[in-house]
Chains A and B, each alone.
Chain A
Amino acid sequence: MTLYWNEKYECMPRSELRALQEERLRNTVRRVYYEVPFYRRALQERGLGPNDIQTLEDLLKLPFTTKNDLRDNYPYGLFAVPLSEVVRLHASSGTTGKPTVVGYTRQDLDVWAEVMARALTCCGATKQSMIHNAYGYGLFTGGLGVHYGAERIGASVIPVSGGHTKRQIMIMKDFGSTILTCTPSYALYLAEVMEEMGISKDDLKLKGGLFGAEPFSLKMRDQIERRLGLMALDIYGLSEIIGPGVAVECPVKDGLHIWEDHFLVEIIDPETGEQLPPGNYGELVITTLTKEALPLIRYRTRDITMIQPGDCPCGRTHQKIARFVGRTDDMLVIRGVNVFPSQIEEVLLRINQTEPHYLIIVERRGQLDELEVWVEVSEHVFTDAVRGLEHLEGQIRREIEEVLGISVKVKLVEPKTIERSEGKAKRVIDHRQL
């Protein structure tokens, strides 16, 4: 089994890695200063010129970038290259109506394939592998991210995407899939349907898999490994940075290596913005070091983790981040899709014409997450006819589904059913035991 995809970089001595990072940071800062008006203004406001950032310590002088900055500059305002250089666009959920748009140059796609090849190699993928890629293909980065990494390795990719579970199982069995990539909840759903179909893990050739894009507990890992007979590793990424492949577990299964030659990592106190030393939980902040189309400086991911102190026995020198313990905002991940309560609120506001009282309830039934939205019936929308209320229920459901792209259940409830606390209602109840 190949241990590393790119040993030179993955196992680079820390001092060399640091020199490489500083060189790349200097280039990135220069590029955003000259090419992105948003950053030029932000640096000038701090009295910084394009050459004032030299070392990793200088990073602290730079401002943060947030998802709101991407929204305010929708769609292409933060791009650092002309659109003629952009060869791919992807998008993810924004906090309200508009999505977050990300672009890639040819070289960005190259970097993405490289980090995904490293990740796939971690779970045992080689040129001989048959990679069953059940991440969704489309604007979501999961499908194409894995796809290009797998092709980079020279493995065979089955671009099966999501859905048609029974057919997927037939394909896994007949095509001899050896590597599985999908969300952890879908992996468990596959296991469940396999059992119903009377197909055992011994009928399949699965050996390894990368599971990400949603919370992934140790309990789920044990189940996936036992029921599918493979080594299950956690993979992390976000489209703003590049997509999947920003960080991945190695076979040691104790933390996710973040590819520091491309992504500069910090952990900060989300309240004060101060950097925290390794071993302390805080918000993950990433600066891209090689991105051309959408370089981001100190991007606040809103994911909470820590840098794990110490070296990894696998030999990779890149620092590891711990399993994620939560978010600093109210984003939910449902069936791999990012959902912000504000997206639902916007729909309700439009239909209700007044501030809606609502509650989002997330449950895991079997292996799949279900989203239910309770909406208080206000006098503005109350009609005395049953079909009027059923129409309202249907309208809310359809419009939320349109915005989120996943199915929801809507329940109309009486006023004051939803608890108010300190003037502000609790918006989300997550019953999933993750």
Chain B
Amino acid sequence: MPVKQISVFLENKCGRLADVTRAIGNHGINIRAFSIADTADFGILRLIVNRPEDAYEVLRKEGFTVSLTDVIAVQIPDRPGGLADILTLMQEAGVNIEYMYAFVEKVSQDALAVFRVENPRVAIKLLEEKGLKIFSEEEVYNL
């Protein structure tokens, strides 16, 4: 199953990142992974949190432009060439990556990365056939 990612539109101005994280922090929502894509004028903050639906509502109420996006969480062996191997497998499976970023925490001996792909459900099936470990929502939110 895909994992829910929160995406937040941010203008490039001082203090906005703190505002977002404070808002969800005040509601006891914990960040598991994040990344920021930015241009000269604006940025998009992407978050994996333990309670995505709650985070979505909290941020909307705070007046942010927010969306929920399906992404997949893939286990990556923590060794030189580990990510390259996974990416090669994804390429062989014909899975196109829009963007990716890594989790802060490690899962046992392995690392965890988030991938945004065109069709997450199809990608999960293809990658599981290749023997990759895909994390479920529960596993990710409860890390």
Residues of A within 8 A of B (CB): 377-379, 382-386, 389-390, 411-417
Residues of B within 8 A of A413 (CB): 11, 42
Contact with A along B23-43 (1 / 0, CB 8 A): 000000000000001110110
Q: For the A-B complex with A377-B9, A412-B11, A414-B11 known, give 17 more contacts whose Cβ atoms are closer than 8 Å.
A: A377-B42, A378-B65, A379-B65, A379-B67, A382-B7, A382-B9, A382-B67, A384-B7, A385-B98, A386-B39, A389-B42, A390-B39, A412-B41, A414-B9, A414-B10, A414-B64, A415-B65
Residues of B within 8 A of A (CB): 5, 7, 9-11, 16, 37-39, 41-42, 44, 46, 63-67, 69, 98-99, 116
Residues of A within 8 A of B98 (CB): 385
Within the complex, the shortest CB–CB distance from A352 to chain B, in Å, comes to 12
Pick the 3 closest A-B CB pairs, nearest first.
A384-B7, A384-B69, A382-B65
Residues of B within 8 A of A377 (CB): 9, 42, 65
Within the complex, the shortest CB–CB distance from A416 to chain B, in Å, comes to 5
When C-beta atoms are compared, the residue in chain B nearest to A389 turns out to be B42
Residues of B within 8 A of A383 (CB): 67
Within the complex, the shortest CB–CB distance from A353 to chain B, in Å, comes to 15
Residues of A within 8 A of B9 (CB): 377, 382, 389, 412, 414
Within the complex, the shortest CB–CB distance from B117 to chain A, in Å, comes to 12
Within the complex, the shortest CB–CB distance from B65 to chain A, in Å, comes to 5
Docked CA distance A378–B46 (Å) = 17
Docked CA distance A389–B41 (Å) = 11
Contact A415 B64 (CB under 8 A): yes
Docked CA distance A382–B68 (Å) = 11
Docked CA distance A417–B13 (Å) = 11
Contact B67 A412 (CB under 8 A): no
Tell which of A379, A386, A411 touches B37, judged by Cβ atoms closer than 8 Å.
A386
Docked CA distance A415–B11 (Å) = 10
When C-beta atoms are compared, the residue in chain B nearest to A393 turns out to be B41
Docked CA distance A15–B66 (Å) = 71
Main SS class of interface, B: strand
**Could you list 22 examples of A-B contacts with CB < 8 Å?**
A377-B9, A378-B65, A379-B67, A382-B7, A382-B9, A382-B66, A382-B67, A383-B67, A384-B5, A384-B69, A384-B116, A385-B116, A386-B44, A389-B42, A389-B44, A412-B9, A412-B41, A412-B42, A414-B9, A414-B11, A414-B16, A415-B63
Contact A384 B65 (CB under 8 A): no
Docked CA distance A411–B116 (Å) = 26
Docked CA distance A377–B39 (Å) = 15
Docked CA distance A287–B42 (Å) = 51
Within the complex, the shortest CB–CB distance from B114 to chain A, in Å, comes to 12
Docked CA distance A412–B65 (Å) = 12
Docked CA distance A377–B11 (Å) = 10
Within the complex, the shortest CB–CB distance from A240 to chain B, in Å, comes to 39
Within the complex, the shortest CB–CB distance from A348 to chain B, in Å, comes to 15
When C-beta atoms are compared, the residue in chain A nearest to B43 turns out to be A386
Within the complex, the shortest CB–CB distance from A229 to chain B, in Å, comes to 42
Contact A417 B42 (CB under 8 A): no
Within the complex, the shortest CB–CB distance from B132 to chain A, in Å, comes to 23
Residues of B within 8 A of A378 (CB): 65
Within the complex, the shortest CB–CB distance from A383 to chain B, in Å, comes to 7
Docked CA distance A414–B14 (Å) = 13
Docked CA distance A386–B99 (Å) = 10
Residues of B within 8 A of A416 (CB): 63
Docked CA distance A416–B9 (Å) = 12
Residues of B within 8 A of A386 (CB): 37-39, 44
Within the complex, the shortest CB–CB distance from B45 to chain A, in Å, comes to 10
Within the complex, the shortest CB–CB distance from B23 to chain A, in Å, comes to 13
Residues of B within 8 A of A412 (CB): 9, 11, 41-42
Residues of A within 8 A of B66 (CB): 379, 382
When C-beta atoms are compared, the residue in chain B nearest to A417 turns out to be B11
Indicate whether A411 sits within 8 Å of B41 (C-beta atoms), given known contacts A382-B9, A384-B7, A417-B11. yes
When C-beta atoms are compared, the residue in chain B nearest to A385 turns out to be B98
Docked CA distance A402–B42 (Å) = 25
Within the complex, the shortest CB–CB distance from B87 to chain A, in Å, comes to 19
When C-beta atoms are compared, the residue in chain A nearest to B69 turns out to be A384
Residues of A within 8 A of B44 (CB): 384-386, 389
Residues of A within 8 A of B7 (CB): 382, 384
Docked CA distance A412–B9 (Å) = 9
Docked CA distance A371–B44 (Å) = 25
Docked CA distance A383–B116 (Å) = 13
Docked CA distance A41–B5 (Å) = 63
Docked CA distance A413–B46 (Å) = 17
Docked CA distance A417–B9 (Å) = 12
Residues of B within 8 A of A389 (CB): 9, 39, 42, 44
Within the complex, the shortest CB–CB distance from B15 to chain A, in Å, comes to 12
Residues of B within 8 A of A382 (CB): 7, 9, 65-67
Within the complex, the shortest CB–CB distance from B58 to chain A, in Å, comes to 15
